[in-house]
Chain A
Amino acid sequence: MTNFAEHSPYRTERGNAQTLGALPSIEYSLIRAHVFASLVTLVISALFGILVATKFTFPEFLGGHGWLTWGRLRYNHTQGIFFGWLGNAFLAFFYYAVPRLANRPVLSRKLGWFLFWIWNFAVVLPGWVLVAAGFSQPLEWAEFPLVVDAFVVLAFILMVFEFVLPFLKARLSDLYVSAWYTIGGIIFTMLAYPVGNFVPELVPGAQGAAFSGLWIHDAVGLFVTPFALAIAYYVIPATTRRPIYSHFLSMVGFWVLFFTYPLNGTHHYVYSAIPMAAQKGAIVASAYLGMDVILVVTNLLLSLRGSSGTASKDVPLRFVWFGVVSYLVVSLQGSGQAFMPVNRFIHFTDWVIGHSHLAMIGFGSFVALGGIAHLWQHIPGTRYNERMMNWSFWFLAVGLTLMVTDLTIAGLVEAQVWESSAPWIDSVRAVGSYWLVRTLSGLPILTGFVLFWISLVTGPRLSEATTSATSRVAQENNVAFEEIPEVSREILSTGWLSYAHVVAFGAGVGFFALSFLVLAILPGKELADEIKRVAPVTMSTLTASEQRGRVIYGREGCAYCHTQQIRFLAADVRRFGAPTEAWETKYDYPQLWGTRRIGPDLSREFDLHPRDWQLTHLYNPRLVVRDSVMPPYPWLFSGNANQPTQEALDLLAYLQSLGRARQLSGFEQQVLVSNVRPATPDMAMPREASARATPPTVPIAMTGGYSGSAPVLHPSSNPGDLQEEVSRGGTLFAANCASCHGAAGRGDGKASSSLLPKPANLTAARFSDERLSSVLWNGVAGSAMPPWRQLPAEDLRALVAYIDSLHVPEAAPAAPEPATLLLGKAFFIANCSSCHGVEGAGNGPAAAALAPSPTNFHLKKPTEQRAWEVLENGVPGTAMPPWQNQLSGDQLHALVEFVRSLYAPPQENSGQ
């Protein structure tokens, strides 16, 4: 081995090599502790992820208790990966690399152990427990509650002392790019974390979302990316024994990253109420970021030139290489996703989930695993099991590739369905098989993580006195340090460069402050002005019950599946209603806009579903929507949907408040008349003019009340075609109607016990095509029956045909006596006409105020048995009272005969 000191450039600069002093000590015990903690939390977090994924296919799985519900597990999955796994892995790397890069030990071993305990036992563990117990913050990448956030900030302050101070004592000319990324990541995360976690609690709605957007991206851009790049820039030259291709390019990449990354955040809210200038600024910054990543990755890959043999043999280097390639792919993908033509299509879909897994596993985790494996070879007395490590790599690579490919395709499928007018549940059905594959793809990933752990603990045990692992690897692989050239003394003696790191630090903090100024503070001010200008003065705050319900909504992670932001896109507006304006969320602390749609947007939930439907849906969504993947919330009820606890009622109250201010304000008229927000003309996007100027009168999701334009859908008169329609209608009925009406249409579906009025028994009456068409088109106000007009007309016609077929023609009864009919008519006029109308057309004087509307007997003919039941018992949940105590048997009989005689539908084509 060459005597390195003889050839060191630092010898010529400093007179002799001894000025570097003795080697700094490295805290190996802290490295081992953090590696152990990282792998424990990694496996636990991955298990959380697999449980979350499994619940998409089996929504009832572990669904009986709040601690294991989807939302809380999802919170713990992402926070566990972020703090538990990556946080500990990065800390382990810092203890290894900082003394080497700074030529000084970390500040204090005691401080290190204090930081270890803070990180794991004041952040990760209590964070998990509190979230599982229902104490959380419903903000993406900020789910741990505020009390935990305080310890996170404390931990980052401690990191500054532990890891940044040693660098400040080092010469700038010694500061390698990994050191820059370490310093930058720690300081900027320390600054960004409070802004992303505390500010949205103080700044409401759209304004808060601007800050949240920044943190969503800063969590990746200022925490994961810098630290992962620090590892990549370290492991590559340390393994190949050759310097990186260009330190100049690495520094360009560093500064452009720290300038552009914080500016990206608002690209999570493209087409939202956030001012368009901020949106477009984020999009441009995203494009720059993509270019920067190309630069960084090119530099890293060029650093591997001529080292393909090393890369193929050295598994840690292979992990890093895979991570670097993933970084390129995921970053270019991210830049593309920010562009409006792409964003409008794939945002909120599983495409984005695939993207985030590629970032957090493909990039962050692969590089971190490579870093851990590399340093493990250098810890005295340890070495990994190479065979296990190799298997770990391949399990992870295959599992991740499968997962990302699957989720990307699933996202495209969802986007395609959302663009159509198909019911929302169709998008859930369409990706069911993809979700199953995603779950299965998680198994090789979990296996890979476990194998990695096993690899570390089953490697050959070496005594601390043996040759260091690095030397062994170098000797085995025949890799030698590349000759190190002399560094120019001229430049090293230039005085002003001594202050360059101060200038650079100032510039970095300036970039950070600039991002918050231009993407959060200025848009926030603009939004505040807009809200002051247009918000209705009558807008009320949430009631105490609604406010409690909002907390439950956040606690259960509802915002991770349901957005509360209708974007300024025709597809959104057509489906959900008018776009969400900033003022609508002015009382939302913190904002609950969401960034993902598994279920529909809930911004216009007010008046959309009746109370009993909502409660049944919360108790078990599949009672009313057969193929729903929403988790059940039985712990909000006392045994069944009819016995909601106060928490269920609070959540119901909150859900039914969503969109209330908008509907009651008359804002639509103001919008149309004033063409609001002249200050931001960019918001009126050329291709989305219809989204704002002409909101549809009846969005897909809304009941919209009775529409006189409901078409009358006549089944085919051709027997062959009719048979086909009935068959098709049966399939549609089973998928969409049977959960309430029962498989045979008798009104005895699983949800029927908790719905009032009960779902109609479709076998107990003959319905005209006009009546069925109207109900399918408009729903039934005052009942749980929703409108289905989003279905294609041929589907609705098939349903009419199928429901027609449910009615079994009665044996021809004897014609009623005229006298009986006259008697019945007299009783009807005396007792029933105020609701049902004199002619029995359901249009009596009281009808307009009743929901459900009184029956129109011209369009519906109950069976004799059903007519008797109704007259004797009334119809619970409607205005129809029981009459058995007011009228005699003969009188009831006369009424039954009379109302059944009224059926006189218009000419129908049906063969029936």
Chain B
Amino acid sequence: MINLIVIVISAIMFALLLVWWRWPAFRSWIEAPKYFMLHQERRFDDKPKG
């Protein structure tokens, strides 16, 4: 049980770090949603009133 948990979590972490390290474009992709969220905030703020 303990081994299973440790192996799975380690594998997830290792895979994510590997992708992050080997594929710089992934970094831009994975960070994109945080800008989309702000983009939407601004769109709502700029919504014409009335």
Give chain A's interface residues, CB within 8 Å of chain B.
Answer: 1, 4, 8-10, 20, 23, 100-101, 103, 173-179, 234, 237-238, 241-244, 246-248, 250-252, 255-256, 259-260, 263, 277-278, 280-281, 284-285, 288, 378, 464-468, 470-471, 474, 481-482, 484-485, 487-488, 490-492, 494, 497, 518
Whole-angstrom distance between the Cβ of B13 and the nearest chain A Cβ: 8
Inter-chain contact A256/B12, CB cutoff 8 Å: yes
Known: A4-B42, A284-B6. A490 touches B35 (CB 8 A): no
Structural contact, A491 and B28, CB atoms closer than 8 A: yes
Query: A465-B49, A470-B41 given as contacts; is B25 within 8 A of A488 (CB)?
Result: yes
Q: Hey, which chain B residues are within 8 Å of A378, CB to CB? A: 44
With A251-B30, A468-B47 in contact, is A285–B35 under 8 Å at CB?
no
CB pair B45 A256 closer than 8 Å: no
A466 and B48 CA atoms in complex are apart in Å by 10
- Which A-chain residue is minimally distant from B39 (CB atoms)? A8
Task: Kindly list chain A residues whose C-beta atoms are within 8 Å of the C-beta of B12.
Answer: 255-256, 259
Contact B37 A176 (CB under 8 A): yes
The answer to whether A177 and B33 touch across the interface, beta carbons within 8 angstroms, is: yes
Known contacts A247-B31, A277-B2, A487-B31; 20 additional CB pairs below 8 A are A1-B46, A173-B33, A237-B34, A237-B41, A247-B32, A247-B33, A248-B20, A248-B30, A251-B30, A260-B5, A466-B49, A467-B49, A468-B47, A470-B41, A470-B44, A487-B29, A487-B32, A487-B35, A488-B25, A488-B28
Which single residue of chain A is at the shortest CB-CB distance from B16? Answer: A252
- Docked-complex contact A259 and B25, CB < 8 angstroms: no
Q: Which residues of A contact B9 (CB under 8 A)?
A: 256, 259-260, 288
Interface size class of B (residues with CB under 8 A): 35 or more
In the complex, the chain A residue whose C-beta lies closest to that of B41 is A238
Q: Which 9 A-B pairs have the closest CB atoms?
A: A488-B28, A281-B1, A491-B29, A243-B34, A491-B25, A176-B33, A176-B37, A487-B32, A247-B34
Interface residue B18 (Cβ < 8 Å from any Cβ of A):
no
Instruction: Find out whether the CB atom of A488 lies under 8 angstroms from the CB atom of B34.
Output: no
In-complex Cβ contact of B36 among A174, A242, A246, A470 (8 A): A174
B45 contacts A470, C-beta separation under 8 Å: yes
User: What is the distance, in angstroms, from B44's C-beta to the closest C-beta of chain A?
Assistant: 6
* A104 CB to nearest B CB, Å: 11
Which B residues touch A464, using CB under 8 A? 49
Set A176, A234, A288, A487: member contacting B28, Cβ < 8 A: A487
Q: Is the CB of B43 within 8 A of A4?
A: yes
Identify B37's interface contact among A9, A237, A255, A482, CB under 8 A. A237
Residues in A neighbouring B4, C-beta threshold 8 A: 281, 518
The residue among A247, A466, A484, A490 with the most chain B CB atoms within 10 A of its own CB is: A247
Given known pairs A247-B31, A281-B5, the reply for A4 and B47 (CB within 8 Å) is no
The answer to whether B33 and A488 have CB atoms under 8 Å apart is no
Complex alpha-carbon distance, A728 and B24, angstroms: 78
- Contact with B5, one of A251, A263, A474, A482 (Cβ below 8 angstroms): A263
> A247-B33, A255-B12, A492-B29 are known contacts. Are A468 and B49 too (CB-CB below 8 A)?
yes
Q: Are A234 and B37 in contact (CB under 8 A)?
A: yes
Q: Give CA–CA (A81, B26) in the complex, Å.
A: 41
User: Which chain A positions have C-beta within 8 A of B31?
Assistant: 243, 246-248, 487
Closest CB of chain A to B5's CB: distance in Å?
A: 5
A20 and B45 alpha carbons, distance in the complex (Å): 15
> In the bound complex, what is the Cα–Cα distance between A160 and B6 (angstroms)?
32
| Docked-complex contact B33 and A491, CB < 8 angstroms | no
Given contacts A288-B5, A482-B38, A484-B35, are A23 and B25 in contact (CB under 8 A)? Answer: no
User: Are A518 and B1 in contact, CB atoms less than 8 angstroms apart?
Assistant: yes
Please give, as numbers and ranges, the residues of chain A lying within 8 Å of B27 by CB-CB distance. 248
Contacts of A1 in B (CB 8 A): 45-46
Complex: chain B residue closest to A263, CB-CB? B5
A654 → B minimal CB distance (Å): 36
Q: Which residue of B lies closest to A246 (CB)?
A: B31
User: A508 to nearest B CB, angstroms?
Assistant: 12
* Cα of A488 to Cα of B27 in the assembled complex, Å: 9
Contact A178 B37 (CB under 8 A): yes
A23 touches B47 (CB 8 A): yes
User: Is B38 a contact partner of A241 (Cβ separation < 8 A)?
Assistant: yes
Provide the residues of chain B in CB contact with A173, threshold 8 Å: 29, 32-33, 36
Q: Cβ of A4: which chain B residues have Cβ within 8 Å of it?
A: 39, 42-43, 46
**A10 adjacent to B6 (CB under 8 Å):** no
- B42: which A residues are within 8 A, CB to CB? 4, 481
* Residues of the B chain whose Cβ atoms lie less than 8 Å from the Cβ of A23: 43-44, 47
Residues of B within 8 A of A246 (CB): 31
Which residues on B sit within 8 Å (CB–CB) of A518?
A: 1, 4
- Within the complex, what minimum Cβ distance (angstroms) separates B47 from chain A? 6
Distance between Cα atoms of A248 and B47 in the complex (Å): 30
B39–A10 CB distance below 8 A:
yes
Indicate which residue in B8, B28, B37 contacts A101 across the interface (CB closer than 8 Å): B37
Residues of B contacting A251 in the complex (Cβ-Cβ under 8 angstroms) = 30
Is the beta-carbon distance between A284 and B30 smaller than 8 angstroms? no
Chain B residues whose C-beta falls within 8 Å of the C-beta of A490 in the assembled complex: 25
Pairwise interchain contact A465-B50, C-beta atoms closer than 8 A: yes
Cα–Cα, bound, A650→B1 (Å)? 43
Per the bound structure, the CA–CA distance linking A898 and B39 in Å amounts to 103
CB-based nearest A residue for B32? A487
Q: Considering the chains assembled together, what is the distance between the CA atoms of A248 and B15 in angstroms?
A: 13
**How long is the Cα–Cα vector from A823 to B13 in the complex, in angstroms?**
96
Query: Which of A23, A248, A470 has the most B CB atoms < 10 Å from its CB?
Result: A248
* Residue in contact with B43 in the complex, picked from A20, A284, A467, CB distance below 8 Å: A20
What CA separation (Å) do A558 and B29 show in the bound complex?
A: 54
Contacts of B34 in A (CB 8 A): 176-177, 237, 243-244, 247, 250
Cβ–Cβ contact B5 & A285, under 8 A = yes
A501 to B25, CA, bound (A): 18
CB distance from A283 to the nearest CB of B (A): 8
In angstroms, Cα B20 to Cα A474, docked, is 34
Q: Which residue of A lies closest to B49 (CB)?
A: A465
What residues on A are CB-neighbors of B25 within 8 Å?
Answer: 488, 490-491, 494
Q: Nearest A residue to B10 by beta-carbon distance?
A: A288
**Given A173-B32, A255-B12, A474-B45; A284-B5 close (CB under 8 Å):** yes
Q: Which residues of B contact A285 (CB under 8 A)?
A: 5
- B33 contacts which chain A residues (CB < 8 A)? 173-177, 179, 247
Residues of A within 8 A of B49 (CB): 464-468
Bound CA–CA A260/B10 (angstroms): 12
Min CB distance A896 to B, Å, is 73
A20 contacts across to B, CB distance below 8 A = 43
- Residue pairs across A and B with Cβ atoms less than 8 A apart, 20 shown, are A9-B32, A10-B39, A173-B29, A173-B33, A177-B34, A234-B37, A246-B31, A248-B31, A251-B30, A277-B1, A280-B1, A281-B2, A281-B4, A281-B5, A288-B9, A465-B50, A470-B41, A488-B29, A494-B29, A518-B1
